[in-house]
Amino acid sequence: MLRRASMLLARRPILAARARPFSTDLPAAPSADATFTEAWTKVIPNMDPPKTPLSFMQPRPPTPSSIPSKLTVNFVLPYASELATKEFANPCYDLIPVFKHSILSLFLLIVPATTGQMGVLPGHVATIAELKPGVLSVHEGSEVTKYFVSSGFVFIHANSFADIIAVEAVPLDRLDVNLVQKGLAEFTSKLSSATTDLEKAEAQIGIDVHSALNSALTG
């Protein structure tokens, strides 16, 4: 009897885990609830069913069956949009399938996520990543554009659209090395003289940001 019970217990979670699909496997989300509209038309055939919040939402883009050849990037700030629906195509993808990262016409977006530098190519799995202060680099063929991003988020959708939102993003040549080093020294001393948790956190943030700025300018 005890053996049966342990078998039953062991079986349940496995079934449950297999029944729940990964969110990346889901098809495009439906924009209207079919059961509701059927039930409505049965009872009140003359009136249109009311719109639910679901019908106002854009459906989730479906995961395409083959890797798309381009990555569309939106890079926006509160006061400007750096890249607005800029498409980056990788034409060499199909011609030379072995050398996926052909040096001739490579597009790569390197994003400073809190979990480390993340590279984004067309066909990247849908991801939401929080950004830490760091360098965002856009490699288009042989040209590289680098921006220092203060913080923000990057959303990569299943259909290879990437949305990067940041509060402040500046090209590296607009940063002043002396101010960065002065700031780093100032915050290091503030950390050692900080008393409350909040002051310590602020000083630590200052150190993180300034050391990221420093390595962006010198590295």
Which residues of this protein are in contact with another protein, per CB under 8 A?
79, 133, 148, 150-152, 167-168, 170, 174-176, 179-180, 183, 197-198, 200-202, 204-206, 209-210, 213
Q: Which residues contact 54 (CB under 8 A, 6 or more apart)?
A: 30, 31, 32, 33
Closest contact distance (angstroms) between CB of 170 and another protein is 6
Phi, psi of 84 (to 5 degrees): -115, 110
**Nearest residue (CB) to another protein, 108 versus 217:** 217
CB 84 within 8 A of CB 102: no
Three-state DSSP class for residue 35: helix
Q: Which of helix, strand or coil describes residue 83? A: strand
Sign of CA dihedral 61, 63, 69, 71: positive
Smallest gap from residue 205 Cβ to another protein (A) = 6
Q: Which residue has the tokens 């990057």?
A: 154
Cα–Cα dist 58/10, whole Å:
40
Task: Pick between residue 158 and residue 180 the one whose CB is nearest to another protein.
Answer: 180
Give the residue with the Cβ less far from another protein, 71 or 203: 203
Q: Pick the closer one to another protein by CB: 50 or 219.
A: 219
Least separation, in Å, of the C-beta of 51 and another protein?
A: 32
Residue 214 CB, shortest distance to another protein, in Å, is 10
| Least distance (Å) between residue 81 CB and another protein | 15
Listed in sequence order, the DSSP H helices in 20-97 are 34-43, 53-56, 92-95
Q: How far is the CB of 40 from another protein (least distance, A)?
A: 34
Number of Cβ within 10 Å of residue 24's Cβ equals 10
In the complex with another protein, the residue whose CB is nearer, 139 or 200, is 200
Nearer residue to another protein within complex by CB, 75 or 88: 75
Which tokens is 151 given? 């913080």
